[in-house]
């Protein structure tokens, strides 16, 4: 067999070997079945759950499918760490991740929780940080990256309007402490480190109260 034939044969063999690993087109119906176990924490409608002074599971409904898929891959590959999420992410193969992400992306957006008891001063500070930032403290506004209405931009910047206050607060604290770092440019880590606990709570409760037109 000449060198061209060998190269062709190897190419075909590699192609056949790689094919099963390629994810097919997303199927939300398959995703619904694969996401059944996710409903324990994130609820069957993807609304998540906020417990005052306790755990807060994020809303997934209406989030960008690419963003959800990216986060699941980050959990699987150790770029994002959470003792509860990693075992479940590891249960999903590449196709299931695509399908689950498509399923949640198609669900209607539900309201955020956890901001009902915020006072006016807290809400005013949260609005400032979310929409205008605080240049005296070198804090960039949330909407600078998360887009108009803080409803998300593609698969990189998630929609944070209408997300549960407890979850936003927990993630900002994790960025601040360096416990979360799955951001190649460390944008969130740099911003969170310039915020104090009152700022983090204020922006979290304000964002949780914002209606979402679309994500």
CA–CA distances in Å: residue 25 to residues 96, 133, 215: 11, 39, 21
Q: Is 73 part of any known ligand binding site?
A: no
Q: Is 1 part of any known ligand binding site?
A: no
What's the rounded Cα separation, in Å, for the pair 93 and 34?
10
What's the distance, Cα to Cα, between the start and end of the chain in Å? 56
Q: Is 50 part of any known ligand binding site?
A: no
What's the rounded Cα separation, in Å, for the pair 146 and 52?
26
Q: Is 145 part of any known ligand binding site?
A: yes
Residues in binding site = 38, 41-42, 85, 142, 145-146, 188
Q: Which residues are annotated as a binding site for heme c?
A: 38, 41-42, 85, 142, 145-146, 188
């Amino acid at each position: 067999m000449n060198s061209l034939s060998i190269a062709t044969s190897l190419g075909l063999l590699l192609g056949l070997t790689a094919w099963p690993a390629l994810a097919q087109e997303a199927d939300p119906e398959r995703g619904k079945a694969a996401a059944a176990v996710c409903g324990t924490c994130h609820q069957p409608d993807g609304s998540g759950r906020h417990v005052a002074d306790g755990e807060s599971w994020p809303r997934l409904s209406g989030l960008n499918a690419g963003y959800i898929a990216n986060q699941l891959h980050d959990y699987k590959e150790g770029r994002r760490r959470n003792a509860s999420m990693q075992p479940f992410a590891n249960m999903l193969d590449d196709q299931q991740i695509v399908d689950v992400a498509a399923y949640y992306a198609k669900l209607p957006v539900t309201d955020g929780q956890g901001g009902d008891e915020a006072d006016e001063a807290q809400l005013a500070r949260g609005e400032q940080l979310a929409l205008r930032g605080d240049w005296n403290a070198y804090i960039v506004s949330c909407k600078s990256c998360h887009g108009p209405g803080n409803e998300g931009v593609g698969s990189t910047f998630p929609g944070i309007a209408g997300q549960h206050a407890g979850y936003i607060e927990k993630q900002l604290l994790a960025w601040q402490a360096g416990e979360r770092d799955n951001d190649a440019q460390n944008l969130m880590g740099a911003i969170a480190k310039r915020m104090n606990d009152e700022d983090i709570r204020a922006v979290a409760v304000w964002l949780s109260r914002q209606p979402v037109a679309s994500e």
